[in-house]
Amino acid sequence: MEWVVKLQAKSGCGEMETIEVGRLERRVVGLTAGEVGLTLAEGKNLLGELARLILQTQMEEFTTCARVCRDCLKLRRLRDQRTRKVQTLFGTITVDARRISACPCRNVWGFVDVSLSPLAELLPDRCTPELRRLQAELGARHSYREAARLLEALLPCGPVNHATMRNRTRRVAADLESAATASPKPEPDLDSSTEIMMVIDGAHIRAAHDY
């Protein structure tokens, strides 16, 4: 048997495009228990390819729409063409990151080097918020190395080391703390001085003399 997984993309202009995501094959005669259904490796490959196709087509149309000036509605010219790698739950994906020149209607000083990158403004750290939040959640519940191992085992997000897990956890914690400080909620029955949050990470410490 053979299955063909296809993605049908419809643009904002109504144009339809069908893209093949992947193929699966199973034998009928001599089928084993390990070949029943969809395996984890096949699922990770399909999810990774599906995420790549969705993100690439999405960023292409997003950049095209961003070229339209909001003031004069004219199409701004492209400054240059480059690529960027974006970390997602389903892998590190390379997408087009075009830089757009400033529109003449707003560039009143006539600067030549004024440009912007829509992708850099959308994802400044080149990582999706969902991946960063999941890394922080796993990093808060497990050691950073164990959290990285779990994430790599279950999702095609690519290899992540313990330092990345630690930094993402700290960043999300800082963002949550800043949001709580900006808009504190009254909790009269909660004594914050008695609460302790502790994260323990496994580590190897080289032996030293006299210690």
What tens digit of pLDDT does each residue of 135-154 get?
888 888 888 889 889 988 88
What radius of gyration do the chain's Cα atoms show?
24
Residue 33 has a pLDDT of: 87
CA 52 to each of CA 62, 89, 172, 201: distance values in angstroms, whole numbers, following the listed order: 15, 11, 25, 33
Three-state SS for 7?
A: strand
Each domain of the chain, given as residue ranges in start order, spans 128-181
Provide the H-helix boundaries in the chain. 40-66, 118-122, 129-141, 144-154, 162-182
Are the C-beta atoms of 99 and 135 separated by less than 8 Å?
A: no
Amino acid at 74: K
Question: Do 96 and 85 touch, CB atoms closer than 8 A?
Answer: no
pTM value surpassing 0.75: no
Q: Using CA atoms, how far apart are residues 149 and 67, in angstroms rounded to an integer?
A: 41
- What are the backbone dihedrals phi and psi of residue 9, each rounded to the nearest 5 degrees, phi first? -105, 130
Structural contact between residues 35 and 21, judged by C-beta atoms closer than 8 angstroms: no
pLDDT band at 197 (very low <50, low <70, confident <90, very high): low
CA distance 160 to 90: 13
Pairing state of beta strands 83-88 and 91-96? antiparallel
Residue 208 has pLDDT above 80, yes or no: no
Residue 107: predicted pLDDT: 67
pLDDT of residue 196 exceeding 50, the answer is no
Give 64's pLDDT tier (boundaries 50, 70, 90): confident
> Over the chain, what is the mean pLDDT?
82
